[in-house]
Structure 1
Amino acid sequence: MGADTGEPTRADIERVRVEVYRGYAEQGHPPVRAALEAATRLSPADVERALAILAATRHIVLDDDGRIIMAHPFASIDLHFSVKGSHTLWWGGCAWDAFAIPHLVPGENEVLVATTCPACGTPHAYVVGTSRAPAGDEVAHFLVPAAHVWDDVVHTCSNQRIFCSERCVDDWLSATGNEHGSTFDLATLWRLAAHWYEGRLDSPYVRREPSEARAYFADVGLKGAFWGLEEPEP
């Protein structure tokens, strides 16, 4: 801990971040506070300060009671996607996150992702691996534009879903009164997920700059102002 400020150092905060992510990756849920304190050799107060800073800087999500509920691509609340690996069961934070987990977790080259269509309730399951996109005519629809993802991140993630078809997207939008966001195929979803979270289990982790994020979106085939790109969608 920094002697002058009484606050955890950057190195302390990074150690807590890595422990949270590795706990999710290895166990499917975040470590409890006592485990964080033991692993990092920080006091309970310093662990709480570090978690608060990580939440403020958008590395993790805490609920109103201070519980860790997300560290993208992992979640510990039901956001409509289960991800079954060879030894671990995860909640995926959204369609994007669920497809990302096999690319991030060592030794999990394929996982079984299960969800339901928000419009009609049809169940869908995909074997998602690291070598190619899963087959399927379903589409992903993301409701909240990239610039507003963190306005209410749980709401955002709850509305990054997979639908049977664009007709189901239209039916759901009509039923809910929401406006159309961004719709794309499973291959694009897979490309979006494939490298987005690289490095999050490692240290130090360096977040992409906004310009790098926009370039990534363009490279995987996304278009339009929804993704912060200049050309509007037709």
Structure 2
Amino acid sequence: MAAMEDEVRAGLRELSGQRHLALGAGGEIVMAHPFTAVPLGFSVMGHDTLWWGGCAWDSFALAHLLPEQSPVLVATTCPACQRAHAWSVDTREPPPGEQVAHFLVPASRMWDDVVYTCGNQRIYCSEQCVTAWLERTSNRRGYVMDLPTLWRLASGWYAGRLERGYVRRDPSAAADYLRSVGLSGPFWGLPD
């Protein structure tokens, strides 16, 4: 039995090394994107299931990855003022709203501590709330996007993730995808 457990732990470490999941200090799975076992500021409710949302990106992605659950109700609070926000997210069009998403950690460093990264991909009432939060926490500004851009980013990022034989995008394909949804600049490792 111990040999089987050792094989499983080795397999989990290999998957973690390939960035398919994130392990906690005790070797437990804490994230298998877009799913998370730890609360990071979002909840996502489908027709018959309620999940923690790992971050703004992953929370919006669940409607696309699980179309049978769509629309999903994504709920969070603004990190700056604690105002509650909720959106009905589906696969057809971005939800309405003036809110903005702020991603703190640049793409090149997202996997340095992916749980921290996801915990800091949040939705704020406005750019003013982003600025207030940055001043209060002494963090530097990351990347701010509107809800339609967030929805486009989330819409196809995990395409095929639940299918047998799934292969992650290589860096070139990932860059092409990011450009196709309207992202640019050094934060994403892309030209302006």
Q: What TM-score do the two structures reach when normalised by structure 1?
A: 0.79
1:110 paired residue number:
71
The one of 190, 196, 200 aligned to 2:161: 200
1:221 aligns to 2:187 (yes or no): no
In the TM superposition, 1:1-234 aligns within 5 A as 43-231=4-192
Between the aligned partners of 1:141 and 1:113, the Cα distance in structure 2 is 16
Between the aligned partners of 1:106 and 1:76, the Cα distance in structure 2 is 21
AA at the equivalent of 2:142: G
Between the aligned partners of 1:219 and 1:107, the Cα distance in structure 2 is 25
Between the aligned partners of 1:125 and 1:143, the Cα distance in structure 2 is 21
Between the aligned partners of 2:102 and 2:28, the Cα distance in structure 1 is 29
Structure with greater Cα Rg: 1
Q: What TM-score do the two structures reach when normalised by structure 2?
A: 0.96
Aligned length: 190
Segments of structure 1 that go 5 or more residues without pairing to the other structure are 1-41
List structure 1 segments (4+ residues) > 3 angstroms apart after TM superposition.
none
Following superposition, the deviation at residue 166 of structure 1 comes to 0.3
Following superposition, the deviation at residue 43 of structure 1 comes to 3.0
For 1:46-67, what per-residue CA distance to the aligned partner results, in whole angstroms no more than 9, with x for missing partners? 2222111111111011100111
- Are 2:79 and 2:122, in contact at CA under 8 Å, matched by a contact in 1? yes
Following superposition, the deviation at residue 139 of structure 1 comes to 0.3
Between the aligned partners of 1:215 and 1:142, the Cα distance in structure 2 is 19
Bigger Cα displacement from structure 2, 49-58 vs 163-172:
49-58
Between the aligned partners of 1:49 and 1:223, the Cα distance in structure 2 is 37
Q: CA RMSD in A?
A: 1.1
